[in-house]
A and B are shown apart, each in its own frame.
Chain A
């Protein structure tokens, strides 16, 4: 394999963090190079340096045999380096076509007037290359997250990049869309396009990767061919130790009922009834749009309840807003971490956010009390932060998630609604989150888990309800259900083969 890109001795520090520590990586022509590592390992920073969004403190980039400087993302694109970000960088109010050609020159004619025919043509070509097909005159904000991700990828493809960096591209894609993306990657590979692919999902590593580089704490630990790697070994390299069990579920005998939902109907939900017991983890399965989020949000006071009731410890609740929910010790861990944190506030200030009554006296904050509580949870959850005063935006994703969890632990919630609690966090932290769920169950809390990762849902739940079109379509015990059954029930198909 001839070397197409070489990152030599790249180094980058932020205040208090050595994000990228003298990293060397080589990527061959037409190679899919997988980049693995826990949150905060330095993958994203390294790729931002390569794509011009950030500048290295030192180090050299050799690209196509030449030493290059990448001061801006625009320059990177001109050189043929395109990056598809995890946080979408589309303009929501522009159309699909406009977004795809944004930043390129061909869309203008000699008079400088936009050439709409060529814009549409190009956008459609890009989507065709991806093997997908949807209306390019739609505004991006009208599309679901998965389709937006595809537009983002199409945009980079349309720039005819020679090196495409993908940062967890499948996190919002459906199975079918994911398949199309993989096909496109394999097709572009044949046209000598190289890829750097960041992911947390092991299946992708082996399905797509040619070689794998593992980063840990900003350093490159090892680069090895995918054919010679195995999962245990990679996890060990990422975490720095061997993980005994990826899903450390503990059996806990459920106690009395804590939450009861009776015939709950909202705009999207149709007559949902179930009960949750203390010490139980109840999983909710279903496709996107099946009503799982809606159900959590209704229990948290974010949805208008048309009929039916929600009972806590046997007494009916009137939940008009999250204020009422939190007062009744219900906690919601949102799917998007950014809705759980105020990034401009400090770690301790975030931890006590839902528990302000505990640390205040007729409106005045007791800051020493706050510090005590924050310190306790930082220690308990092993949150890696240089200090209590650190602003949350400087923490890695996994640690941010722990801060959100700490917030709800501090609030002494009894019912935890966990929406994708391990989304975008690394293996090591995932296990910590699972252990925490076990602890909560053991303390007699009730937990509802919504997760799109089926292995997680099946391993951690005691019982699983599958939703489809706002209704509960099936209920399963954890001991006698397979992934296939859940998928089939969620999709409304029967298992035939």
Chain B
């Protein structure tokens, strides 16, 4: 790593170089790339099946759903908020979508599902930004209610009347690439562009950094803050679409741990819980860390009861590592 922190003349670089350097900087500054590399190195030594292209494809497919809703959660956390209703919004929009699919058709059902996710998220956002209610409590209430309605709507049974062609979204391939991987990487890329190149992204960072200052600059902070939650709901619903397609059914109890997986990945990825700081590249690395761990533990046939213990230790270790690094 180079020591120089001086400002290079950015004009002489091509846009691609600039983006490349930007990605490198962002990932490096998120701090968690090193633990990821160490993890990959260790698992490669322990398990001969780990370091194969097929296995990496597997990991990417396994993390794709997590990546999608973690990007959404990152939007919310960047504003300085929190959302624990991701899993419930996912389940609720997924069961409605699956339930409507036979009658209204595949595309309209998906659109309705996404719209429901966006609306639920926006409701959270307006409660937080406009009514000034605490985000944790608002989304906790949403978590309980949306999850309950998912059960009420389905009577507790999975909705499995799913057309075969829909499964393409969950288990299909385009060329050598699994469809969920393409979608999730697309979401990541769009998320990065939105945060860096749109007014929405700018104000999301601004609101997380100092909401009052943004407001006193004449910005409609309520709109932008609420939108961040709306996007989180939308991406939760999109994750629900893919999960439903993969499982060929929408299960009301699905994705219970989603908000916590998302928060853990976002924070491990270097996004500040108080908002305003961090990048989606870091979140990507955070999601990968969890994917790699699960994958490695499965390859080593570690009993599932133990897996969460390892996850807990990793979360703690990664955060500790990051703090120590920041201090030195």
Contacts and interface: CB of A to CB of B under 8 A. Distances in A.
Contacts of A114: none
Interface stretch (A33-41, A322-330, A460-468): A322-330
Contacts of A411: 218
B217 A407 contact: yes
B202 interface: yes
Contacts of B5: 15-16
A100 to B, nearest CB: 29
Given A16-B5, A356-B202, A342 B218 contact: no
A357 to B, nearest CB: 9
Interface stretch (A264-272, A343-351, A450-458): A343-351
Contacts of A334: 216
B7 A353 contact: no
B216 A360 contact: no
Interface stretch (A160-168, A241-249, A361-369, A480-488): A361-369
B198 A356 contact: no
A71 to B, nearest CB: 13
A50 interface: no
A363 B198 CA distance: 5
Contact of A344 (B198, B200, B209): B209
A314 interface: no
B7 to A, nearest CB: 4
Interface in A293-340: 300, 321-323, 325-327, 332, 334, 338-340
A19 to B, nearest CB: 16
B26 interface: no
Contacts of A340: 213, 216
A323 B203 CA distance: 14
A345 B7 contact: no
Given A344-B208, A345-B205, A387-B7, A363 B214 contact: no
B301 to A, nearest CB: 45
Size category of the binding interface on chain B: 20 to 34
Interface string A373-415: 0000000000000110100000000000000000100010000
A342 B199 contact: no
A185 interface: no
Interface string B190-225: 000000011110110110111011111111100000
B3 to A, nearest CB: 11
B180 interface: no
A312 to B, nearest CB: 15
Interface string B162-181: 00000000000000000000
B205 A360 contact: no
Interface string A201-231: 0000000000000000000000000000000
Interface residues of A, number: 33
Contact of B218 (A16, A323, A360): A323
Contacts of B198: 360, 363-365
Given A16-B5, A338-B210, A344-B208, A365 B219 contact: no
A342 B209 contact: yes
Contact of A345 (B197, B206, B212, B219): B206
Contacts of B215: 321-322
B277 interface: yes
Contact of B206 (A323, A342, A364): A342
A136 to B, nearest CB: 31
B230 interface: no
Nearest to B215: A322
A341 B210 contact: yes
B216 A389 contact: no
B208 A365 contact: no
B277 A344 contact: yes
A344 B79 CA distance: 12
A354 interface: yes
B252 interface: no
A354 B217 contact: yes
Contacts of B206: 342, 345, 349, 353
A343 B209 CA distance: 7
B276 interface: yes
A363 B218 contact: no
A367 B206 CA distance: 16
Contact of B217 (A353, A365, A367): A353
Interface in A1-49: 15-16
B216 A339 contact: yes
Interface of A: 15-16, 300, 321-323, 325-327, 332, 334, 338-345, 349, 353-354, 356, 360, 363-365, 367, 386-387, 389, 407, 411
18 contacts: A300-B216, A325-B218, A327-B218, A339-B210, A339-B213, A342-B206, A342-B210, A344-B208, A345-B205, A345-B206, A349-B206, A356-B203, A360-B198, A363-B198, A363-B199, A367-B197, A407-B217, A411-B218
Interface of B: 5, 7, 197-200, 202-203, 205-206, 208-210, 212-220, 276-277
Given A340-B213, A363-B198, 18 more contacts: A300-B216, A322-B215, A323-B218, A323-B219, A338-B213, A340-B216, A342-B205, A342-B214, A344-B208, A344-B210, A349-B205, A349-B206, A354-B218, A360-B199, A364-B198, A365-B197, A386-B7, A389-B7
